[in-house]
């Protein structure tokens, strides 16, 4: 626990830094704490926050000391970005963290050969591959599809693992692999023809979203109340946003570099899909990592609703090229995430008071 809590604090600092940087990029008049902060928005969110959390959760599950190399390295990488230290060291640390995460899934696959561990292991490799052009100085938009793959395959692999309870057929699993294969082939094509590769990956994302909507167990648990029902609503909403993101990738593949459409393509997935998954799994993962009790509260629906309503405003503003809608949607996105943090802290305090 003496290691886990400081690492979670670094993840929190990275998240706050990423939100601050995102608001600066949207044009909100906030203090520029570090000159390089705005360009670090994506790396702080993907590597500093999400990479640290995923690495920490997997290290706890594996119960091996060396596995904590993932969150340690991502925390150090985000520290370099937050305080303006040489960025290239942060790049190297991020790539090393991805290698540790890949090693974790190699070990898990060795213990239990399975499609879900293979999928998550490939996701970890995409993190490493994405860190290489980032280190080489390529434009960040060329790195984004690889980091998207890291997060999407990591989450999809976890959901596939849980779908074993539904007794999926071999054909059902093959459809999952076909969707993944289309997405990955798009990443490969993007190395030669970037726009075409983005379009192909968009097809894969859309196919994977339909697979998750069709085969995820959330379709059955949504009728339940309490935590199970909340998780199901969060998951299904996230899958819808993944599908929207995939369609946007196909429609605007040629604009995958900057501008309103680029903002919509990214945040439909990184906010709509990824943060829906975080909201859904936090009441289970955080207690397993911290050892603290987190009783379910209906108040959780507040940050979930704010996230999705504000994202509708933001993405809708992007699609009609409305700067005010984009800015206010982005501000409300940040407030939804802060409300999520506040609700979780409140729930932990409530859980401790009941002991």
More confident position, 267 or 60: 267
Sign of the torsion angle spanned by Cα atoms 239, 316, 314, 24: positive
**What was the pLDDT predicted at 200?**
97
Tokens 């393509």 appear where? 265
Quick one: which of 224, 54, 206, 39 has its CA closest to 134? 39
More confident position, 355 or 115: 115
More confident position, 204 or 138: 204
**What was the pLDDT predicted at 353?**
57
Average pLDDT over residues 316-326: 95
**What was the pLDDT predicted at 199?**
96
The CA-based dihedral angle spanning residues 27, 31, 32, 34, taken in that order and rounded to the nearest 10 degrees:
-150
Condensed to tens digits (0 to 9), the pLDDT of residues 27-76 reads 998 888 777 788 888 888 888 889 888 888 888 887 788 888 888 898 88
**What was the pLDDT predicted at 164?**
72
Mean residue pLDDT across the chain: 88
Query: 230-263 b/e with 16+ CB inside 10 Å = b?
Result: bbbbbbbbbbbbbbbbbbbbbebbebbeeebbbb
For the whole prediction, is pTM greater than 0.85? Answer: yes
In 10 A of CB 40, how many CB atoms? 25
- How far apart are the C-alpha atoms of 239 and 32, rounded to whole Å? 35
Chain centre distance of CA 214: 21
- How far apart are the C-alpha atoms of 338 and 318, rounded to whole Å? 23
Least confident of 60-74, 142-156, 194-208, 254-268: 60-74
Looking at residue 144, the DSSP 8-state letter turns out to be H
**What was the pLDDT predicted at 140?**
82
In 10 A of CB 316, how many CB atoms? 14
Condensed to tens digits (0 to 9), the pLDDT of residues 161-185 reads 877 767 778 888 899 999 999 999 9
Quick one: which of 115, 153, 3, 158 has its CA closest to 70? 3
**What was the pLDDT predicted at 90?**
79
The DSSP string of 73-101 is HHHHHHHHHHHT--HHHHHHHHHHHHHHH
Question: Nearest-5° angle of CA 218, CA 148, CA 18?
Answer: 100
Average pLDDT over residues 105-109: 90
Chain centre distance of CA 76: 19
In this structure, what token pair is assigned to residue 282? 């936090």
- How far apart are the C-alpha atoms of 266 and 318, rounded to whole Å? 11
Average pLDDT over residues 8-37: 87
Condensed to tens digits (0 to 9), the pLDDT of residues 123-171 reads 999 998 888 877 777 788 888 999 999 999 999 998 888 777 677 788 8
Which residues, 6 or more positions from 345, have their beta carbon under 8 angstroms from its beta carbon? none
Cβ(355)–Cβ(293) under 8 Å? yes
pLDDT at 320 over 60: yes
**What was the pLDDT predicted at 267?**
94
**What was the pLDDT predicted at 172?**
87
pLDDT at 272 over 80: yes
pLDDT at 294 over 70: yes
In this structure, what token pair is assigned to residue 157? 């692999």
Average pLDDT over residues 265-277: 95
* Surface-to-core class of residue 135, CB atoms within 10 Å of its CB (0-12 exposed, 13-18 middle, 19+ buried): middle
């Amino acid at each position: 626990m003496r290691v886990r809590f400081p690492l979670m604090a670094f993840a929190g600092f990275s998240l706050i830094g990423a939100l601050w940087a995102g608001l600066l990029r949207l044009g909100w008049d906030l203090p520029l704490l570090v000159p390089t902060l705005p360009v670090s928005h994506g790396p702080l969110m993907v590597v500093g926050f999400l990479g640290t959390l995923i690495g920490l959760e997997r290290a706890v599950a594996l119960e091996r000391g060396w596995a904590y190399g993932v969150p340690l390295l991502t925390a150090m990488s985000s520290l370099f970005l937050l305080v303006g230290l040489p960025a290239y060291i942060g790049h190297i640390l991020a790539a090393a963290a991805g290698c540790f995460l890949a090693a974790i899934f190699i070990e898990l696959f060795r213990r239990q050969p399975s499609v879900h561990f293979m999928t998550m292991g490939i996701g970890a490799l995409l993190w490493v591959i994405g860190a290489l052009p980032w280190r080489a100085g390529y434009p960040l938009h060329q790195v984004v599809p690889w980091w998207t793959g890291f997060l999407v395959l990591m989450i999809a692999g976890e959901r596939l693992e849980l779908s074993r309870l539904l007794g999926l057929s071999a054909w059902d699993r093959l459809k999952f692999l076909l969707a993944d294969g289309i997405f990955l082939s798009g990443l490969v094509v993007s190395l030669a023809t970037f726009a075409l590769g983005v379009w192909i990956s968009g097809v894969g994302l859309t196919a994977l979203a339909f697979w998750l909507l069709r085969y995820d167990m959330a379709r059955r648990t949504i009728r339940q109340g309490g935590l199970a029902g909340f998780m199901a609503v969060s998951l299904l909403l996230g899958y819808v946003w993944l599908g929207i993101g995939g369609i946007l990738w196909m429609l605007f593949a040629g604009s995958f570099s900057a501008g309103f459409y680029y903002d919509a393509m990214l945040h439909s997935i990184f906010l709509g899909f990824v943060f829906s998954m975080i909201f859904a799994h936090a009441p289970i993962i955080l207690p397993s990592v911290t050892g603290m009790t987190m009783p379910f509260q209906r108040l959780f629906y507040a940050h979930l609703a704010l996230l999705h309503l504000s994202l509708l405003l933001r993405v809708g503003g992007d699609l009609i090229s409305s700067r005010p809608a984009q800015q206010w949607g982005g501000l409300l996105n940040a407030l939804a995430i802060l409300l999520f943090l506040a609700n979780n802290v409140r729930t932990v305090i409530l859980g401790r008071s009941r002991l």
